Amino acid sequence: MNVGLLDALIRLALGWLMIHWGIAFKVQLKKGPKLIMSILGTILLLTAVTRYCFIYTLLNISTL
């Protein structure tokens, strides 16, 4: 666990927005950017829920 509460809340909000904009609002983008936004949003949601970020581990960062 290396993601603090505020960091997790920001990731949760951004992840939800990215998925929502990419899928629900049918943003006027081509299929590629929609898919990328959805994948990045899902990654943000997963790192918020698990409170673990692999990149933080590689860079030896902790926001706890």
pLDDT in tens, 4-55: 999 999 999 999 998 888 776 665 666 677 788 888 999 999 999 999 999 9
Residue 41 has a pLDDT of 92
Please provide the DSSP assignment of the chain as one string. ----HHHHHHHHHHHHHHHIIIIIT--SS-HHHHHHHHHHHHHHHHHHHHT--HHHHHTT----
Domain ranges of the chain: 5-58
Hey, what are 42's tokens?
A: 């899902």
Q: What's residue 49's pLDDT?
A: 94
User: Can you give the pLDDT at residue 42?
Assistant: 93
pTM for this model (two decimals): 0.80
